[in-house]
Structure 1
Amino acid sequence: MTTTDNTSMPEADDAALLERVQSTFSALYGKSPDGLWSAPGRVNLIGEHTDYNEGFVLPFAINRRTVLALALRDDRVIRISSAFAEGVVEINLDDLAVEELGPDVLSGWSAYPLGVAWALGRFGADLSGAGDAVDGLAAGAVTGSVTGFDAYLESTVPVGAGLSSSAAIESSIALALNDSWRLEFDRQTLAKVGQLAENKAVGAPTGIMDQSASLLGRRDAAVFLDCRSLDAEVVDLGFAAAGLELLIIDTNVAHAHSTGGYAARRASCEEGARLMDVPSLRYLDVDDLPRAQEVLSEETFRRVRHIVTENQRVLDTVRTLRLEGPAAIGSLLDASHASMRDDFEISVAELDVAVETAQANGAIGARMTGGGFGGAAIALVPSESIPALKIAITAAFSERNFTAPTMFVVSAADGAVREV
């Protein structure tokens, strides 16, 4: 997505986006779509890399969305296109009705939506055309009729910024196919579908947080998610009532979860759990850290310490929001960034400068957000301080010859929905 400058991002015009997606679909395929669906990106307020460790996270859906138009066909052909790339990707359902689907089969942006179609088959949708549901991971019979489809999508979620543009795509297509194929999966199952698609079809070893936030989000609230049980609670944020806004500082340093750094951190966590003889790092708490330091290598200990303390910070943030309000959570956001920078080592210079400049110029608290190695930082800021903070961050980046950041305010939005 381009902007007229790199200091802000224009407000998303949802009505214009819906109209454009519908008209583009009709121009591409010569017919009207059966419906339009949308799903948001997300910001993770706190709880980074804790999701695949069966821990706690506190994301919220944002007012930047992917919109998808879709119409079923009467054959087994899938045609899908997007504003991300020219042309139409065409594939037969038979190519997706397989037990395994790796990143070597699908490539580019289409791996996300087509991976979801494949993953729905692993959860019980009959992609084979034989009439019998594939054995899946979800309980209950699947009664829907699965055929090919035409689809087109556009998005206002920045790509590569750590705001989960991928989950917005996955959740929009998952909801659209769930409705169109009459699968009747609940949203927790659709989150698992999206995660499976990203893990297997895309090859990114991510947890379930992003899809859960995109599907379960509520306006003006965060989703407090237990990534082991998948129990979710809505937690009021109260930013506006407290005179606060959440500023996104996109460093424009792109990251990719399917590359080595993310996978290496996950492997370190798994190694730490194995050596500590626990199923996952969720089973450790702060009291276990002295023993962990004795058992683990210095690097693995620091990885484990981040996860253990970050889980505690999520719990502390939820409690503080409920008892004291958002103005009291700043120190927890700051501590989270320090832990990701020093213990988990997933920050980069641009993220550190964004966070430090925000902290020095009026932010209640700030931290990097997302998987790391680039992407965005967030700053919780009094509304009246936003203009001056943007100027300070732009100047700090310019002094260091960094690419100019893109900055914009987000609010907590509703999750995936059928629009038309």
Structure 2
Amino acid sequence: MSESLSPEQIVEAFTAAFGQAPDGVWSAPGRVNLIGEHTDYNEGFVLPFAIDRTAGVAIGLRQDSTARLLSSYGDQGVVTVDMDSLSHDTMSGWTAYPLGVVWVLGQMGVSVGGFDLFLHSTVPSGAGLSSSAAIECAVASAFNELAAAGLSSKELVLVGQRAENEVVGAPTGILDQSASLLSTQGHAVFLDCRTQTSRPVPLDLAADGLLVLVVDTKVTHAHATGGYAARRASCELGAQVLGVAALRDVTAADLGEAAGLLDPETFRRVRHIVTENQRVLDTVAVLDDAGPGAIGALLTASHASMRDDFEISCPELDLAVDTALAHGALGARMTGGGFGGSAIALIRAASEAAVRTAVLAAFADAGFTTPDIFAVSPAPGARRLQ
């Protein structure tokens, strides 16, 4: 994970690379999905929160049609693109995220022309913390202002989602971009993915002496390939067979009938979505009434469902969850699309050292790659920094 840079340092890096100061610096956070996994593209409910790990972009508009893009990580150097010939073929690697946003804006009639862009992100890539949406939302926020597009936050959510779906090729829902754009300090975002309505839900961990510990297993994943798309296809098949617009419309009372209509694998996928939607609603109710100290069992039940019914966990994620629970975590679950990435543990702040030490030892004993372990706090959403 990259070290954080101040807005002034980002400006300095941009100026050193491109020979002049940028027009501004924008930032958007990664996210932890507290609960509600794979429910977003099934028009269900999710409860993410933005974290204090962000993607920062400095952007300067140009008078020509050239785009120059530079990232602080990797060794690609400056990537140069002719915006007049921007197409799927010219967008690849990390530049597909910012260029994808620009392409979608162009499809909407918002032309930005040429620009210089410097990216610095502290959201670890491939960790299930939505590093891609952080980039998309920072860039979308920047060009919304620079091009005077006047798009609302909800419209920018859809810009980011289209970039992810149509350019990157990942069939994701609106969870990640919504968390990055709509979050407020000290709150989670309760999002209805069918209506795109949302409200903040209090998540003041510090006041209750709690924290969320992220265990980045270092098992990387890519939503554009493999299991994620297969799970989405299973959900769509389940909805089709059950005759509903989306699995959001299936209730727990319907599962008995569904078991007789679906093959066993598709039924398990459907059961996860149905029960996960209810867990989100239950978690919101508990947070409103009793606070975060009472949601642990719901988080742990969510992990069991993802492990057994949706089958998107892996040995490293299971070990992180089981070890954290064995050493005092109130609840734990994998977070993100699955097949790697991160687990989260809701713990008492006083037990952080013990949980951290136990997880590191368990991974070492299993011969797994040493994980990154860090605490995160509910943070504000995308904004201009300078």
TM-score (norm 2): 0.98
Cα distance in 2 between the residues matched to 1:260 and 1:405: 23
Cα distance in 2 between the residues matched to 1:369 and 1:121: 33
Post-superposition Cα deviations, 1:149-208, rounded to whole Å, max 9, x if no partner, equal 111010111111000000110000000011001101001101100000011110111111
Match of 1:83 in 2: 72
Match of 1:379 in 2: 345
Cα distance in 2 between the residues matched to 1:363 and 1:418: 36
Cα distance in 1 between the residues matched to 2:143 and 2:67: 12
Which residue identity lines up with residue 84 of structure 2 in the other structure?
D
Cα distance in 2 between the residues matched to 1:95 and 1:343: 45
Match among 51, 59, 83 for residue 93 of structure 1? 83
Contact persistence 1:17–1:67 (CA under 8 A) = no
Match of 2:263 in 1: 297
3-state DSSP of counterpart to 1:206: coil
For residues 112-191 of structure 1, the aligned pairs below 5 Å read 112-125=97-110, 127=111, 146-191=112-157
Runs of 5+ unmatched residues, structure 2: none
Post-superposition Cα deviations, 1:378-416, rounded to whole Å, max 9, x if no partner, equal 000000000011111011111110011110000010000
For residues 222-237 of structure 1, the aligned pairs below 5 Å read 222-237=188-203
For residues 240-389 of structure 1, the aligned pairs below 5 Å read 240-389=206-355
Deviation at 1:335, TM superposition (A): 0.4
3-state DSSP of counterpart to 1:378: strand
Runs of 5+ unmatched residues, structure 1: 3-11, 128-145
TM-score (norm 1): 0.90
Cα distance in 2 between the residues matched to 1:122 and 1:300: 36
3-state DSSP of counterpart to 2:55: strand
Cα distance in 1 between the residues matched to 2:347 and 2:383: 30
Contact persistence 2:11–2:58 (CA under 8 A) = yes
Contact persistence 1:346–1:373 (CA under 8 A) = yes
Match of 2:58 in 1: 69
Deviation at 1:87, TM superposition (A): 1.4
Q: Tell me if 1:59 matches 2:48.
A: yes
Cα distance in 1 between the residues matched to 2:115 and 2:218: 34
Which residue identity lines up with residue 236 of structure 2 in the other structure?
E
Cα distance in 1 between the residues matched to 2:13 and 2:57: 11
Cα distance in 1 between the residues matched to 2:82 and 2:90: 13
Cα distance in 2 between the residues matched to 1:178 and 1:215: 13
Match among 85, 90, 96 for residue 111 of structure 1? 96
Match of 1:5 in 2: none
Deviation at 1:107, TM superposition (A): 1.1
3-state DSSP of counterpart to 2:258: helix
Cα distance in 2 between the residues matched to 1:202 and 1:38: 21
Contact persistence 2:81–2:90 (CA under 8 A) = no
Deviation at 1:21, TM superposition (A): 1.4
Q: Tell me if 1:26 matches 2:15.
A: yes
3-state DSSP of counterpart to 1:248: strand
3-state DSSP of counterpart to 1:308: helix
Cα distance in 1 between the residues matched to 2:327 and 2:306: 21
Cα distance in 2 between the residues matched to 1:17 and 1:335: 39
Cα distance in 1 between the residues matched to 2:380 and 2:7: 16
Aligned length: 385
Structure 1: which 4+ aligned runs deviate by more than 3 Å? Answer: none
Q: Tell me if 1:38 matches 2:47.
A: no
3-state DSSP of counterpart to 1:24: helix
Contact persistence 1:123–1:193 (CA under 8 A) = no
Overall identity of the aligned pairs, in %:
59
Cα distance in 2 between the residues matched to 1:246 and 1:23: 33
3-state DSSP of counterpart to 1:87: coil
Contact persistence 1:74–1:148 (CA under 8 A) = yes
Deviation at 1:80, TM superposition (A): 1.1
Deviation at 1:124, TM superposition (A): 2.9
Deviation at 1:238, TM superposition (A): 2.2
Deviation at 1:122, TM superposition (A): 2.3
Contact persistence 1:246–1:411 (CA under 8 A) = yes
3-state DSSP of counterpart to 1:402: coil
3-state DSSP of counterpart to 1:151: strand
Deviation at 1:84, TM superposition (A): 2.7
Contact persistence 1:84–1:109 (CA under 8 A) = no
Deviation at 1:105, TM superposition (A): 4.2
